[in-house]
Structure 1
Amino acid sequence: MNSLDWIVLIAYFGVMVGIGLWSHKRVDDVSDFFTAGGKMPWWLSGISHHMSGYSAVMFTGYAGIAYTYGVTSFVTWSLPIAIGIGIGSKLFAPRLNRLRSRLHVASPLEYLKNRYDLRTQQALAWSGLLLKIVDVGAKWAAIATLLSVFTGMSLNQGILITGVITGIYCTVGGLWADALTELGQFIIQLFAGIAMLVAVMGELGGFSALWTVWDKLPSGHADATAGPYTVTFLLAFLFIKMFEYNGGMWNQAQRYMATANAREATRSARLSAVLWLVWPLVLFFPMWCAPLLVKAQKPDASDSYALMTEQLLPHGLLGLVIVGFFSHTMAMCSSDANAIAAVFTRDIAPTLSKAARGWSERAGLLAARLSTISFLALSMAIATQVNSPTFKDIITVVIKWVAGLMGPIAIPFMLGLLKPFRRSGPTAALTSWALGLLAFWLVNYPINWNTDGGVPLQYQVSVPLAVSLVLYIVIGFLKPEDSPGRDVLLARINGEGGGDGSGLTAESLKVPAQAKPGGDGRQPGDREDTGSGSGPVSG
């Protein structure tokens, strides 16, 4: 990098902080901070949903997969995500929106107290929080790895710089700041990705390289599945990502909750699905061509894209592409921080402290910001250990730990929204969660199924989710735990009674207040309901 690249990078950081400060004016309470008050346009929500779904791991870990195996990087990663979000646009997006628009909650997990019980909500909240700290730590390490290639900064210096900048804008501006910076980041990434695509095509013979390059690439580079990324892995990944990217990891759920109504949430999801189908092709093509242009230095080839960028792009454009790396990581990490802060302040803190149940609007907002800072600090501390023997490398954390552990957390949360599973109560939820986590531990550590001394990757990520899914359904069938209050709650979430549920009266849809912390049905920082009825679930 030279001075021109540094100017581009510093200007980018300045714009991100400026957007955060501007967004501060739009945040009056916790509803604005966590769900944009339900005022986010569907197209902004869709772009934000897409941008918050991947990070610099795309340009390190997945670049290594593309360098080594080729087209399978798209077929077994981006394609199943696009399909999963497309399915979820009708199945989950409108229901998640109704959590806010009809139940008036600010955290995705708030409804779990009434859907199951307090123990279930806390189990899912704590386990998800710990997993997200590790997940975001891996993403800080990924962007710091790229920064070190270009600038020579140490890993810890890179983590500190990116973490502090992200912390400023997402703490000040909440979800509005996240979404608006993600819009800006999308525009930057659009130019950066196209610049890299043009540079690679120019190096390999022009536009015709799109179809002539395949004969020059290593054998099998055009195969849909290769190496450990088999058809079984593809099907398992599709199933996992359908839950994760439709709200199972919470930050995407917030994007659906932030739109005005269920229909807008569906449109948001469809836009995100289209972006996942099209845009990664632009990013991946240079990575597929990388073996013809550079020789990776790292064993996992995670440095291949950075080396290619450094070799092909002039100064200025180099800085723009580096900004593109930052944009994805900061988008995902800030959205995760906001989601975790929502879960902590709305779901965990009220069970730990009686004072938290009576927080004023101002105190609730302050707690949200402090929680965001705390989460970012913990994840940055974890990032310094992400290449330790425990975690092995960045891609191990993202694929094995996150994909493998997400299922047991997401199954009770996501399927709890659907009426066909209404008989699966607290016993089914807690058992499926606990034994799913146990299954992850067994297939990743004590059990050896092949001569290489480890379980095949597709089973590492799919077995925990499969165990949780089967137990959740079977226990719900053998030990049904139905209740009138649960049926009322599901009626609201599923929009029954005409359109978005307007045919149901506020009184008939009231959820028992005693299930809420403090006994009055209110959460820290809730605004007074302006609709008919009373309490945070009246419409």
Structure 2
Amino acid sequence: MNSLDWIVLIAYFGVMIAIGVWSHKRVDNVSDFFTAGGKMPWWLSGISHHMSGYSAVMFTGYAGIAYQFGVTSFVTWSLPIAIGIGIGAKLFAPRLNRLRSRLHVSSPLEYLKNRYDVKTQQALAWSGLLLKIVDVGAKWAAVSTLLSVFTGISLNQGILITGVITAVYCTVGGLWADALTELGQFIIQLLAGVAMLVAVMAKLGGFSALWTVWDKLPDGHADPTAGPYTVTFLVAFLFIKTFEYNGGMWNQAQRYMATANAHEATRSARLSAILWLVWPTVLFFPMWCAPLLVHAQKADASDSYALMTEQLLPHGLLGLVVVGFFSHTMAMCSSDANAISAVFTRDIAPVLAKSARSWSEKAGLLAARVSTISFLALSMAVATQVNSPTFKDIITVVIKWVAGLMGPIAIPFMLGLLKTFRKSGPTAALVSWAAGLFAFYLVNYPIDSHVDGGVGLEYQVSVPLVVSLILFIVIGYLKPEATPARDVLLARINGQGDGDGSDITAASLDLPGQAGPSDAKVLGGRDGKDG
């Protein structure tokens, strides 16, 4: 990078901070900070949902997969995400929106206290919080790896720079700042991705390279599945990402909650699904062609995209692509920070301290901002250890740890929204969660070490989810725990109860931070185009 590239990078950071400061004016209470007060346009929510699913791992870990195995990087990653979000557009998005529009909650997990019990809520909240610290730590490490390639600064310095800037805008402006910066980041990434695509095509013979390059690439580069990314892995990943990207890891759930009503949430999900289907092909094509242009120096080829960028792009555009790396990572990390802050202040803090149950709006906002900074600091500390023997490397953390552990946390949360599983109560939720985590430990460590060649990646990530799913359903039938109160709750989440006398009151639900037993405030009511 030269001075022109640095100007582009510094200007980008400045704009992100300015958006955060401007967004500060739109945040008057906790609801604004965590769910944009339900005022976010569906198209902004959709773009934000899409952008919050990316990070620099796309340009390091998945670039390495594209370099080594080719098209399977798209078929076994972004394609199942697009399909999963498309499924969730009608199944989960409207129900998640009703958590805010009908129950008036600010955290995705707030409803779990009444859907199950406090123990279940706390188990999912704490385990998800710890997993997200590791997950976001991997994202910081990924973007810092790229920054070190281009600038020569150390990994720890890169982690500190990106973390501090992200902390400024997402702490000041909340979800509004996240969404607006993600819109700007989407535009930047659009320009950077197209620039890289054009540069690669020009190097390989022009527009015709889109169909002529395949004969020159290594054998099997066009195969839809390859290496450890098998058909079994693809099916497992589809199930995992259907839960994760429809709200299982909370930050995407907030995008649906932030729209005005259930109909708008569905439109938001559909836009995100289309973007996931189309845009990654633009980003991946240069990565698929990388073996013809550069020789990766790292064993996992995670440096291939950075090397190709240095070789092909002039200064200025080089800086723009580096900004694109930052844009995806900062979008994902800031959205995760906001979601974790919501869960901590709305779900965990009221259980830890009685005073948290009666926080004023000012105190609640302060707690939200302090917890956001704390989460970012912890994830940055973890980022310095991502390449240690404990975690092995970036892609291992992201694929194996996050995909493998996400299922047991997401199953009770996501399926708890559906009336089909009304009989599955606290026992089913806790047992399925605990058994899923234990299954992850078994297949990744004791069993893996005693199997020749180790347990396949597809089983490492899928077994925990399958165990949790089966136990959640079976225990629900063997020990049904449906109650009238839970049935009323599910009726409201599933779009029923308007004007039929089944509105839920704060007194009956006793939601953390909401009205107390003496308050008859109704948490029901119509939410517009309800689908």
TM-score (norm 1): 0.96
Q: Which amino acid aligns with 1:402?
A: V
Taking structure 1 as reference, are residues 451 and 116 closer, same or farther at Cα in structure 2, changes over 3 Å only?
Answer: closer
Q: Report if aligned partners of 2:503, 2:525 keep a CA contact under 8 Å in 1.
A: no
Partner of 1:243: 243
Partner of 2:213: 213
Alignment partner of 1:415 is 2:415: yes
What secondary structure sits across from 2:259 in the alignment? coil
Partner of 1:340: 340
Q: Distance in 1 between matches of 2:513 and 2:366?
A: 20
Q: Report if aligned partners of 1:105, 1:536 keep a CA contact under 8 Å in 2.
A: no
Q: Report if aligned partners of 2:251, 2:339 keep a CA contact under 8 Å in 1.
A: yes
Deviation (angstroms), 1:516: 3.6
Taking structure 1 as reference, are residues 247 and 518 closer, same or farther at Cα in structure 2, changes over 3 Å only?
Answer: closer
Alignment partner of 1:154 is 2:150: no
Deviation (angstroms), 1:509: 2.9
Q: Using the aligned pairs only, state the percent identity.
A: 85
Q: Report if aligned partners of 2:181, 2:331 keep a CA contact under 8 Å in 1.
A: yes
Q: Report if aligned partners of 2:36, 2:176 keep a CA contact under 8 Å in 1.
A: yes
1:534 is matched with which residue: 518, 521, 530?
A: 521
Aligned residues: 526
Q: Distance in 2 between matches of 1:349 and 1:88?
A: 30
Q: Deviations over 1:200-227 (max 9, x none)?
A: 0000000000000000000000000000
Deviation (angstroms), 1:454: 1.6
Taking structure 1 as reference, are residues 43 and 517 closer, same or farther at Cα in structure 2, changes over 3 Å only?
Answer: closer
Q: Distance in 2 between matches of 1:407 and 1:263?
A: 27
Q: Distance in 1 between matches of 2:51 and 2:514?
A: 38
1:509 is matched with which residue: 504, 509, 515?
A: 504
What secondary structure sits across from 1:73 in the alignment? helix
What secondary structure sits across from 2:447 in the alignment? coil
Q: Deviations over 1:253-291 (max 9, x none)?
A: 000000000000000000000000000000000000000
What secondary structure sits across from 2:448 in the alignment? coil
Q: Which amino acid aligns with 2:408?
A: P
Q: Report if aligned partners of 2:23, 2:177 keep a CA contact under 8 Å in 1.
A: yes
Alignment partner of 1:68 is 2:68: yes
Taking structure 1 as reference, are residues 6 and 233 closer, same or farther at Cα in structure 2, changes over 3 Å only?
Answer: same
Q: Distance in 2 between matches of 1:257 and 1:520?
A: 20
What secondary structure sits across from 1:448 in the alignment? helix
Q: Deviations over 1:91-130 (max 9, x none)?
A: 0000000000000000000000000000000000000000
Q: Distance in 2 between matches of 1:94 and 1:47?
A: 17
Q: Distance in 2 between matches of 1:324 and 1:414?
A: 32
Partner of 1:472: 472
Q: Which amino acid aligns with 2:215?
A: D
In the TM superposition, what are the counterparts of 1:325-364 in structure 2 within 5 Å? 325-364=325-364
Q: Distance in 1 between matches of 2:408 and 2:300?
A: 29
In the TM superposition, what are the counterparts of 1:355-434 in structure 2 within 5 Å? 355-434=355-434
Q: Deviations over 1:469-491 (max 9, x none)?
A: 00000000000001000000000
Q: Deviations over 1:290-341 (max 9, x none)?
A: 0000000000000000000000000000000000000000000000000000
Partner of 2:529: none
TM-score (norm 2): 0.97
Q: Report if aligned partners of 1:514, 1:520 keep a CA contact under 8 Å in 2.
A: no
Taking structure 1 as reference, are residues 381 and 537 closer, same or farther at Cα in structure 2, changes over 3 Å only?
Answer: farther
Q: Distance in 2 between matches of 1:518 and 1:329?
A: 32
Q: Report if aligned partners of 1:488, 1:511 keep a CA contact under 8 Å in 2.
A: no
Root-mean-square deviation (CA, aligned residues, Å) is 1.5
In the TM superposition, what are the counterparts of 1:56-455 in structure 2 within 5 Å? 56-448=56-448, 452-455=452-455
Q: Report if aligned partners of 1:510, 1:538 keep a CA contact under 8 Å in 2.
A: no
Q: Which amino acid aligns with 1:503?
A: G
Q: Report if aligned partners of 1:244, 1:406 keep a CA contact under 8 Å in 2.
A: yes
Deviation (angstroms), 1:508: 4.2
Alignment partner of 1:4 is 2:4: yes
**Unaligned segments of structure 2, at least 5 residues:** 527-531
Taking structure 1 as reference, are residues 69 and 160 closer, same or farther at Cα in structure 2, changes over 3 Å only?
Answer: same
Taking structure 1 as reference, are residues 489 and 476 closer, same or farther at Cα in structure 2, changes over 3 Å only?
Answer: same
Q: Distance in 2 between matches of 1:161 and 1:35?
A: 27
Deviation (angstroms), 1:453: 4.1
